[in-house]
Chain A
Amino acid sequence: MRADPADYKLVSPGNLQAVLSLLADEPAQWLPIAGGTDVMVLYSAGKLPNRKLINIWSIPELRRIDSLPDRIRIGAACTYTTLRRNEIILREFPLLALAASWTGGIANQNRGTLGGNIANASPAADSLPALLVYDAELTLVSVRGERRVPYRTFHMGYKKTALAADELIRDISLPRKFSGYIPHARKVGARNAQAISKVCLAALGQVSNGTIRAVRLALGSVAPVPLRLGETEQLLTGGKIELSLINAARKSVIQEIRPIDDIRSTARYRASVAANLVAEFVEKLAVAGTNA
């Protein structure tokens, strides 16, 4: 343990307004901590630069899940366990439930939160590609009010987000319009559980008569931010699923991503696996298409 608790301050205002007031009074001074599964690891390693933390674990507005007719609104401090148990998420947003089941072991799923994953902004986070393909929208709140931000624009660079210094993510909403899509996700890590992903794919597709009518692809761990593969999606949309299309898609994937060598893996491996995962998905669509 390489941090001295006496050097840190952790306050628990207990309600959202008090939290936002503090963030407004001292912008960029206070680090919100929910489940702590990212923050506490840094803290224990002596690598947490922040000395002032604000406890948002039990703020009621952040822990609710509201299902409206056209969308589901997930409080930012909902844990992965909560996501895995929610009927609507399981049925209509299975990629998110799947990603939640891949994030750490049970103990970390009981504490890790979706908002924490988003705010931490690691490109390797498992649930972020799912949010990209599901057209997630974030509600950011501050004393100045609230604003909606399409999740697709939220990440601006490596660990740089659109969150202002006095803002907090209040909820993540997902439009309930994906039941007609074939879902697919796959995570590639160093082992089958408790692994930071080397490559992670979330995908949705619609196919009829062997032709891709619509497709959404998002990858994690292949760029400084989680990535929607807009160009590859365009290439695939309207395309007849055959080997030439799949090969073209592979090339396009490799061109769109910017993977690196790091302590866990290599850029070349990530590129090849990313292309393989997309190819695997397109093949799955072909099979599903013939069964349709």
Chain B
Amino acid sequence: MNVPHIVGASVPRKEGREKVTGAARYVDDMVLPGMLHGATVRSSVPRGKIKKISFGPNVDWIEFVVVTAKDIPGKNCIALIQDDQPCLAPEIVNHAEEPILLLAHADRHKLRKAVEAISIEYEPLPSVHSMEESERKSTIIWGTDNTLKSYLVEKGDVDSVWKEAAHIVEGEYFTGAQEQLYIENNGVIAAFEPESGVTVWGSLQCPYYVHKALMVLCGLGEDKVRVVQMETGGAFGGKEEYPSMIAGHAALLAIKSGKPVKIIYDRMEDMVATTKRHPSRTRHRTAVDKDGRILGGEIDFTIDGGAYATLSSVVLSRGTIHAGGAYYWPSVRIRTRAIATNTPPHGAFRGFGAPQSLFALERHMDRIAQVVGISPIEVRRRNFLKTGQTTTTEQTIRENIDLDRLLDRALELSGYDAKKKRFAVENKNGQLKKGIGIASFLHGAGFTGSGERYLNSLVGVEAGRDGVVRVLVSSAEFGQGTNTVLCQIAAEALGLPYENIAIAQPDTAVVPNSGPTVASRTAMIVGKLVQSATMGIKETLLKSGLLVEDYTSDQFRVACREYIAAHGALKSYARFESPGNVYWDDEKYRGEAYAAFAWAVYIAEVTVDLTTYSVNVDDFVALQEIGKVLNPVLAEGQITGGVAQGIGFALYEKVVWQNGRMLNNQMTNYIMPTSVDLPPIRVFFEEHGNVHGAHGAKGIGELPMDGPAPAIVNAVEDALGVPFNFIPLLPEDVFEALRDKSAERGVLSPARGTA
């Protein structure tokens, strides 16, 4: 194969023209004849027994479609992993805003009034609203002990290191919930015909997750459920598992009414009722030698899963595996758990556990540096993983990675040394204190361990009579560039122009299951399968004699036409094959956790204004090694977008809880950065290849979420000399800490805690 010229180029976004002209079709843009609107009646208590449901007067209830748990044809659950989450609460509710019943009507205003006319009486049950309360186990709300899942990772002999240690460094770190805040709210349309079954169109990431969930909920066979992904206005994990719930609701209403039903959440409902990033608490206890080298340590990591298990076990898994970060741990014990509280279940959000455990680790590295008396740079240099060493799960780093040099480059790009000197002088006077902080980290791409084998992804490619080659995958586009890079890969594999490649709308009736669009796996794993499947088309044509090497696109078109005339169709499939030397032990949580790691060093420069206590990020350098840049414009956009979300995670985005319910569920009061809040985000790439990814690509979607928060909080400590060990870090928190400058304690509680 020649040097790629389509892969690696910034070809325009495949569906870009539709997006810039307003022609792109999102689910709320679609209307079906006879369509009803659907709405959800939700619990107003965090935990209780439903005693009575009253349908108020002044509503003509006969006009309404009403669905309760009793109407569910299949199993009343949202099938995912543990299947403990009901689609509609049958008797006990376990979180505020839990769905209890569904209504539909052609007039959405009458519908809303009907929702308000339903009153529900509950017998309240004791509820749990914090991780600490859940751990105390005085009130059991899930299983036998409130523990949704736990892991234990052990490497080496941790218990022996303490006596050798020159220093034992402890720290406790917290991260708060974060709302994905895709600008397009959750929405679906469902229709039901007895012969063909249920069809759902929706804003979603994983058509086949919804497909499976509907089969179980509706008691239908796989050919009687069809799921179609519409143009999706942002997702970030918030539309990974949640759509199964809203799709289930719409499907039930469609089945009962025989009419299509559209459910679109407004912003208030979406924020209060759907998933958020898991809050976390990490405790580190680390033994280091006199030079700051890690001898071993204990890491205790807890995440709040909310009321049902949903994806918590997988978020916990990723958080567990990333807890040791980009450093070499000769020995370690990592104890982790996801515990239940009476909150709407927390779920997938870009990074998926890693931003939480990496925040703690990267703050802790700076703490170790302080205790030992070396710089944050030096402590990292002395502990970086090197080629040939093993991670905390004893995965050998086989690729050539030189984190030392990556750090050097990041320092140079950010002007670190000069800035440190300048800040030392400038900070002596005035109200503005400047600081600079680092985070160095890794992010594993693809599903953990045997996950990809379990997913068993299948990709198809089909050529048409017109020579247009269509990629058939269930991988969803929601802004990250799926459509574009997969078409680039196919074009490159065939030596055809990018314009000759199309990609099918993900429709389970049409495309095979290439796995969910999550875990930064699409470019890397699905891309490689697209490459194989596409080459299959080429091989078929070459073998048939209808085409010779070095063909033109006209010749290709003619060959397709002739082949299809003779054989009916021209398709090729490729299925995921696990690389032979990958070994993962699910019980001991040991082995090759990920097929590939991307590596990064991020540097944040901040100013803390002592007049307002606000932290402003002035400059941000994001340097990462990602295997191969498939499309420079798209890759850069992924990083800048992820960094922006990371800045929000660190400084702006606070979920205010009251009795297990989000109080600030409006965009006015849940603050994400605007165009005047962000620094220049300067993005740089290195490309060292990756045997497991198409053209050497590694996954990059989630990587940029891991670095910004710790780099920023490290920078704030650099500016003020005050350590903060929780995020979001609001001006009110900075104020409280400076008020009481007896800040020897490492943990400072937020100005407003959780309710």
Contact = CB atoms under 8 A, between A and B. Distances in A.
Q: Is A in direct contact with B (CB under 8 Å) within the complex? A: yes
Nearest to B648: A191
Interface string A241-280: 0000000000000000000010111101100110011001
Contacts of B431: 280
B576 interface: no
A193 B652 CA distance: 13
B51 interface: no
Nearest to A275: B611
Interface in A169-222: 188, 190-196
B641 to A, nearest CB: 17
B656 A192 contact: no
B664 A273 contact: no
A4 interface: yes
Interface string B658-686: 00000110101101011111000000000
B735 A272 contact: yes
Nearest to A187: B612
B611 A280 contact: yes
Given A192-B674, A192-B677, A266-B732, A6 B109 contact: yes
Given A264-B669, A273-B611, A1 B266 contact: yes
Contacts of A45: 268, 666
Contacts, number: 69
Contacts of B668: 41, 196
Contact of B677 (A1, A193, A264, A266): A193
A2 B611 contact: no
B673 A191 contact: yes
Q: Among A45, A276, A277, find the residue whose CB has the most chain B CB atoms closer than 10 A.
A: A276
B739 interface: yes
A269 B735 contact: yes
Contacts of B424: none
A269 B731 contact: yes
Interface string B484-520: 0000000000000000000000000000000000000
Contacts of A1: 266
A105 B612 CA distance: 22
B108 to A, nearest CB: 8
B676 A192 contact: yes
Interface in B567-618: 610-614
B674 A191 contact: yes
B669 A263 contact: yes
Given A263-B663, A263-B664, A269-B731, A276 B611 contact: yes
A41 to B, nearest CB: 8
B676 A266 contact: no
Interface residues of A, number: 29
Interface residue SS majority, chain B: loop
A261 B652 CA distance: 18
Contacts of A193: 674-677
Contact of B614 (A188, A196, A277): A188
Interface in B459-485: none
Contact of A191 (B112, B266, B610, B652): B652
Nearest to B113: A4
A148 B223 CA distance: 75
Contacts of A195: 671
B673 A265 contact: no
A272 B739 contact: yes
Contacts of B676: 191-193
B611 A277 contact: yes
Given A4-B113, A191-B671, A263-B669, A269 B613 contact: yes
Contacts of B113: 4
Nearest to B668: A196
A4 B105 CA distance: 14
Given A263-B664, A266-B751, A273 B112 contact: no
A193 B731 CA distance: 16
A5 B611 CA distance: 46
Interface string B256-280: 0000000000101000000000000
A5 B112 CA distance: 13
Nearest to B673: A191
Interface string A35-58: 000000100011000000000000
A194 B669 CA distance: 11
Given A4-B113, A280-B611, A265 B671 contact: no
Contacts of A276: 610-612
B125 to A, nearest CB: 28
Interface in B295-344: none
Interface in A92-149: 105
Interface string B93-127: 00000000000000001101100000000000000
B515 to A, nearest CB: 37
A196 B751 CA distance: 19
B679 to A, nearest CB: 12
8 contacts: A1-B266, A196-B668, A263-B664, A269-B613, A269-B735, A273-B613, A280-B431, A280-B611
Interface of B: 109-110, 112-113, 266, 268, 431, 610-614, 652, 656, 663-664, 666, 668-669, 671, 673-677, 731-732, 735-736, 739, 751-752
The 3 closest A-B pairs by CB, nearest first: A4-B109, A192-B676, A269-B732
